[in-house]
Amino acid sequence: MVTPPFVADIDWSQTDTILADLNGKAANPIAFNQVNSSENTQIQTAPTFLHSHTLPQPHTHSHPYDIHKSHSHSFLEYNYNLVNPTSGRIATIDGTAGTIAAPEHIQYAMSNKDENKLIHLDPVPDFKDKNDIKPWLQKIFYPQGIELVIERSDSTKVVFKCKASKRGKNAKEPMLPASHKEKIENNSSGSDTKSAAKKKRSVSRFNVCPFRIRATYSLKRKRWGVVVMNNMHSHDLEFNPNSEEYKKFKDKLKDDGDMEAVKKFDELEYRVRAHLPIHNTMIPCDCGMTSEIQSFNIVMPTTLAAGSAKRDKSSGTSPGQQPLITTNSNIHKPPPKKRNDSLLQRTAKKNLMTMQYTNSPSEIVGQSLSMDSPMAPSEMGSAGILEGETPANQIPNLSDFMDDQFHIYERPNGNGIDFSGASGEAVPGGSGLPMMITTSGGGGGAGGVMDLNEIDFTNIFTKSFNGNNVLVPTSHANSISHQDPLSSSGAMHPDVDPSASMTPDSAMLFRQQAPNLDHQTYSGTMGEDCEDGTVALSRPGSNHPTAATTLTSHLDYMTAHTDSHAAESPSTQRSYTHGAAMESTSASMLDFKQELEAFARATSGNSATTPAETTNQLQDSEDQINSWLSSLNKPRSPNL
Amino acid sequence: MVTPPFVADIDWSQTDTILADLNGKAANPIAFNQVNSSENTQIQTAPTFLHSHTLPQPHTHSHPYDIHKSHSHSFLEYNYNLVNPTSGRIATIDGTAGTIAAPEHIQYAMSNKDENKLIHLDPVPDFKDKNDIKPWLQKIFYPQGIELVIERSDSTKVVFKCKASKRGKNAKEPMLPASHKEKIENNSSGSDTKSAAKKKRSVSRFNVCPFRIRATYSLKRKRWGVVVMNNMHSHDLEFNPNSEEYKKFKDKLKDDGDMEAVKKFDELEYRVRAHLPIHNTMIPCDCGMTSEIQSFNIVMPTTLAAGSAKRDKSSGTSPGQQPLITTNSNIHKPPPKKRNDSLLQRTAKKNLMTMQYTNSPSEIVGQSLSMDSPMAPSEMGSAGILEGETPANQIPNLSDFMDDQFHIYERPNGNGIDFSGASGEAVPGGSGLPMMITTSGGGGGAGGVMDLNEIDFTNIFTKSFNGNNVLVPTSHANSISHQDPLSSSGAMHPDVDPSASMTPDSAMLFRQQAPNLDHQTYSGTMGEDCEDGTVALSRPGSNHPTAATTLTSHLDYMTAHTDSHAAESPSTQRSYTHGAAMESTSASMLDFKQELEAFARATSGNSATTPAETTNQLQDSEDQINSWLSSLNKPRSPNL
DNA sequence: TAATGGGTGCACT
DNA sequence: AAGTGCACCCATT
Ligand SMILES: [Zn+2]
Ligand SMILES: [Zn+2]
């Protein structure tokens, strides 16, 4: 039973708040770095995960640990902070919100210097099994539209990356690996063609995303550390509830009894299937990992979708050659040395390149020193900022793991590709980095019901977590059910039913009302307990997943840093939602759906429907991105 | 205990025959296509595996099958024929015999059209388990200096390729994947650099060999078929007894009770460790798979090391930029269309491009038609020759498997790299395809004790099998023990003791006397039962592994085709060497060692000692090779 | 398991 | 740190 696209029967009363906030981007009280590459530019913002834990356990690494339940509020409660380690340099953002009209390729990335910073996640559960890491990360990154796979692993390391997009659906554009295309001519004289096809294992252009998460086991600390590397993406972020991997993940959640996480993901699924913005539910938590977190210079990337506009697009329906790279939020913008802002200046609607936290000069290196001792709050101001060469011995007490992890390798000249020079220029032929918006779901995405272009979502640093930064999927436009999920779920195809695959006890989650959009940004120290240029916004009464919700989208520059804490206090928080979970879903689903629909309709005016993947000429920029990626992954710390 | 390089105490009496034959290359009674690229050029020749089976079982696929024992003479008895399916185009051969002085890189391959043919192996045991295929192939290809690994597999296919060379030993040259080197300049403007780094999964330049073996399970035939694709190599062939994989393989042989194979490999190991040419021991076998084999157009590739001489080398010690590609033997050289012989003509000492079997014009396509019916002997003349487009329906009775397998894909224009144009020209910078002579063994190869340059080994089509085409390793020069293997083996390091890791009962294998070198080639129908331009030479009294031995090396053009048969007649042939196996090894080892030493000394005059891997500028040609390889592996049969 | 080719997850090395 | 062996996939025809 195929359901029509998501269009009608919207109760606008539910969505007023959302819409107001959506259009209230300019209302940001604080300067916000925002760059819009073009009309099609949209933002995929990874939210800041904020919440307060109870049972503070400062400076201890020995809290009880239960990967699946320790933070029983499931993925809601990872209160990581958004800190751009170095400069705020980021680029335009090109998202997919509203339609499939995502850009096809990334021509050039902006200067990759800043994006090539390490972002440490913390707190990290004291994983006892390497295999526990991935589920934990999945709980964090699935809501961000990032499906992680393991690139490499061994007993002391796990490297995650974005799952390669499946070429099956669109299957139009040939794989890049074969290097057929560009070598057509040198049949008889293979000598002078300088098309140097550097060989890697066959990789489609859907598998070039530089984003990496590295988990490393520190023998000294006897703990796993998690670092986000290359916090950007060559693709749009999309949460795909139909993914097999996701299903497995969710099944595992169920098997592990992490019902709260299951419910949250149920909610996420529903919203995503309905093309609704994700509500950020926040759970305040004061578990008190703050000190420890500070010592780890915790940051939670907010994977922004930043793209350099190659050319202006008159409408969202143009087969975008638009470059796109999804990067993270920024903070601390060091004086742009050799930095090419042309892209940003040209394409951004609002080019708020205000340098925030310039009090942390580029010379601030090795800031994450006081690892084993609580970092003074003033130190956090520059935490995460690692520019240039870090003296190897600046951090005497730092464990080896952190030593290495924080040491940023200033790539030797040429040992990488700097896209800054070309970021603003259109490339003839429109070759670009492979990029694909896999609308993995069932039906083809016919309708751009929602177009979030021109809508500059401002990231709100609430304490919400759930569903942050999950782009409104555009691929299921024609497969969205208009039926009541409750009454039709049994007959609907899982792929087209927004409520499909939801657990029965997730209904209560949808009772949460319209999101409260907080357009708070900051350029300086603010927030509750952050003095380091990060923000920790607490929302009253948001102690549980059903509390405050936030729509976080279209954020160009978002910087946030909260007192990071998460920590393991399973005994107090575990599975407290179980009791009330098994209730009727009908009313809440309806309400929620109406809200969703209202939002969808409100944003559908700008159109940009089914933008269709196009272009095949992405070889060059692909190569560059690849080279760049290769260099990014090269040894970072030559001296350490 | 480190043993000095292999130098002294040689009993020349044992090696006279060898030496005579080594120097008697010109004595070939029959025109032989030989191309020597330079002084350093040596030949790695994959021998023809010839033997006669008993118990003919024509046209049946249901012979008893025992992977490990069916051909109980172990790897000696795979009597595959050497048939170059298409033109005899092959190139210079650059081997490693004598020293490590193998060329480092392959600059260009010659025109790859001909090499891009499929070679069917047959008979193939009726594998009941996919995992049985690899051991079987290993028995065949280990002696050829090819270590196979699985590239990809599933329930219906297994694709093998050469194991990537380990860069650990030399570890000098950086990996190519990062694409650092050539992209150093485009830091600020990444737009116009046209260095298109086609991305594949990270692959070192030691992992670019195009050689493939594809095993495919045919549902219709309910059998596995094995096809050799891209019968050439980007590297020298070297049998590495120290390989972990080889050890496992050998252990498996032992576990499976295939003691004959174990002995043969023991012998092979000994010879290889002692830098001795491999004796080709042949076991006549008349098991009678001939008819069936014919119907399958069986060919056994003889993986020649063919290299296009990029430049003349004044001495073997020059850090060779010498291009090298290892290809297979040839037969039936169709009129060279678009074929570039410049390389061969320029670099060869003896450019014997005599066209043999020109009676098989290029129009002969689809020769392997009478698949299910016994192929008339006359038909075999063109068997394996597939030039250009093969009419899809020429082979009505051919199974689908064979249909497809034999259909050679005439690569569309540009869909591949043709090195012919540049094959003869030196490339500035000497960039070349990655090539490495991994002297995998224990100590560094200090001495070029043996230099087989200028020695044109002629491949003899005897019925010998064992150790064919295994290059004399050069890397163990300084680790060759001069002690009596018998008395010293206990104290010697396995890596330096030629007799190390030998099974005790392998001694008798070394009792075989000096090899009988048969310099028989053919240019026309000859041999015992081949009318198709293939040769089947039977040696009197060579019914067992200890029989005739053949030194097969330095063969440029070798074409051979025997009535192929192998087949499964385990009952008659199995493990007939077991009884006499458990004898003393001392005498035989000594004898053998003397022989080996004599040979080594005799050929050491030309020097080319430890040529040391050099050069780092192989990006361009690497790219070309890679591209070419990619195209080679592309769909071969667009219309079928 | 129609055949055939290739991408890629991921742990081993 | 990363190459790579291998298998589980999926693709096209
Ligand atoms: Zn990504
Ligand atoms: Zn090879």
The residue assigned the tokens 């080994």 is B457
- pLDDT for residue A204: 67
Asked if A341 reaches chain B (Cβ–Cβ under 8 Å), the answer is: no
Ligand in nearest proximity to the CA of A161: 1
- CB-nearest to A422 from B182, B185, B189 is B189
- CB-nearest to B198 from A186, A420, A623 is A623
What is the separation of C-alpha A235 from the centre of its chain, rounded to a whole number of angstroms? 11
Hey, what amino acid is at A379? Answer: E
Cβ contact A623–B196 (<8 Å): yes
Tell me if ipTM is over 0.85.
no
Q: Among A269-278, B20-29, B305-314, B510-519, which range has the highest average pLDDT?
A: A269-278
The pLDDT tens digits of the residues spanning A471-486 come to 322 233 222 222 222 2
* Ligand 1 ion: nearby residues, β-carbon < 5 Å: A 162, 209, 211, 233
In this model, does residue B244 exceed pLDDT 80? yes
Contacts across the A-B interface (CB distance below 8 Å)? 211
Cβ contact A200–B202 (<8 Å): yes
| Cβ of residue A199 lies below 7 Å from strand D | no
Tokens of B5: 């390089």
Cα(A164) to centroid of ligand 2, in Å?
A: 29
Contact in structure between A539 and A512 (CB atoms under 8 Å): no
- pLDDT for residue B350: 23
- pLDDT for residue A442: 31
Asked if A185 reaches chain B (Cβ–Cβ under 8 Å), the answer is: yes
d(CA B637, CA A142): 42
Query: Which A residues, 615 through 634, put their C-beta within 8 Å of a C-beta on chain B?
Result: 619-624, 626-628, 630-631, 634
Asked if A183 reaches chain B (Cβ–Cβ under 8 Å), the answer is: yes
User: A326 vs A156, which has greater pLDDT?
Assistant: A156
Tokens of A321: 């050659």
Task: Reduce the DSSP state of residue B434 to 3 states and report it.
Answer: strand
The pLDDT tens digits of the residues spanning B186-206 come to 333 333 333 333 356 766 766
Question: Which segment of A43-52, A277-286, A506-515, B346-355 scores lowest on mean pLDDT?
Answer: B346-355
Task: Reduce the DSSP state of residue A624 to 3 states and report it.
Answer: helix
Contact in structure between B561 and B81 (CB atoms under 8 Å): yes
The whole-number Å distance from A621's CA to D7's C1' is 32
Asked if A635 reaches chain B (Cβ–Cβ under 8 Å), the answer is: no
Contact in structure between A456 and A34 (CB atoms under 8 Å): yes
Contacts of A177 in chain B (CB under 8 A): 198-200, 630
Nucleotide nearest to A150 (CA to C1'): C10
A136 pLDDT tier (thresholds 50, 70, 90)? very high
| Cβ of residue B163 lies below 7 Å from strand D | yes
In this model, does residue B474 exceed pLDDT 50? no
Tokens of A598: 């209202």
Nucleotide nearest to B200 (CA to C1'): C7
Contacts of A414 in chain B (CB under 8 A): 180, 183-187
Q: What are phi and psi of B264, to 5 degrees?
A: -60, -40
Contacts of B189 in chain A (CB under 8 A): 421-422
Q: Which of residues 253-312 of A touch strand D (CB under 7 A)?
A: none
CB proximity list for B382: less than 8 A, separation 6 or greater: B332, B360, B364, B367, B532
Cβ contact A417–B190 (<8 Å): yes
User: A139 vs A587, which has greater pLDDT?
Assistant: A139
Cα(A536) to centroid of ligand 1, in Å?
A: 26
Cβ contact A340–B188 (<8 Å): yes
The whole-number Å distance from A167's CA to D10's C1' is 9
- pLDDT for residue A129: 93
- CB-nearest to B189 from A177, A414, A421 is A421
Tell me the sheet residues that pair with B228: B119, B213
| Cβ of residue A192 lies below 7 Å from strand D | no
- Looking at residue B517, the DSSP 8-state letter turns out to be -
The pLDDT tens digits of the residues spanning A361-415 come to 222 222 222 222 222 222 222 223 222 222 222 222 223 333 333 233 233 333 3
Cβ contact B194–A631 (<8 Å): no
Q: Which residue's alpha carbon is at the shortest distance from the C1' of C13? A: A154
Mean pLDDT over residues A527-541, rounded? 25
**Of B228, B205, B621, B150, residue with least CA distance to B432:** B621
Rounded mean pLDDT of chain A? 42
- Looking at residue A404, the DSSP 8-state letter turns out to be H
The whole-number Å distance from A162's CA to D5's C1' is 22
d(CA B262, CA B258): 6
The whole-number Å distance from B405's CA to D6's C1' is 24
Contacts of B427 in chain A (CB under 8 A): 191
The whole-number Å distance from A222's CA to D13's C1' is 54
d(CA B48, CA B535): 9
pTM, rounded to two decimals = 0.53
Cα(A69) to centroid of ligand 1, in Å?
A: 27
The pLDDT tens digits of the residues spanning A567-613 come to 222 222 222 222 222 222 222 333 333 443 444 443 333 333 333 33
The crossing angle, in degrees rounded to 10, of helices A259-273 and A586-602 is: 40
Question: Which segment of A402-411, A448-457, B122-131, B252-261 scores lowest on mean pLDDT?
Answer: A448-457
Cβ contact B199–A208 (<8 Å): yes
Cα(A232) to centroid of ligand 1, in Å?
A: 7
Tokens of B388: 């250009």
- Looking at residue A351, the DSSP 8-state letter turns out to be -
Asked if A429 reaches chain B (Cβ–Cβ under 8 Å), the answer is: no
Sign of CA dihedral A450, A456, A462, A468: positive
- CB-nearest to B176 from A182, A199, A422 is A199
Asked if A110 reaches chain B (Cβ–Cβ under 8 Å), the answer is: no
Q: Among A145-154, A456-465, B190-199, B546-555, which range has the highest average pLDDT?
A: A145-154
Cα(B162) to centroid of ligand 2, in Å?
A: 5
In this model, does residue A162 exceed pLDDT 50? yes
**What is the helix (H) or strand (E) element at residue A383, kind and residue range?**
none
- pLDDT for residue A167: 61
Nucleotide nearest to B637 (CA to C1'): C4
- pLDDT for residue A118: 86
Sign of CA dihedral B233, B239, B244, B246: positive
User: B27 vs A236, which has greater pLDDT?
Assistant: A236
Mean pLDDT over residues A553-559, rounded? 25
Q: Which residue's alpha carbon is at the shortest distance from the C1' of C3? A: B401
**Of B259, B621, B474, B461, residue with least CA distance to A197:** B621
In this model, does residue A211 exceed pLDDT 90? yes
Strand D bases with any atom < 7 A from protein Cβ:
1-12
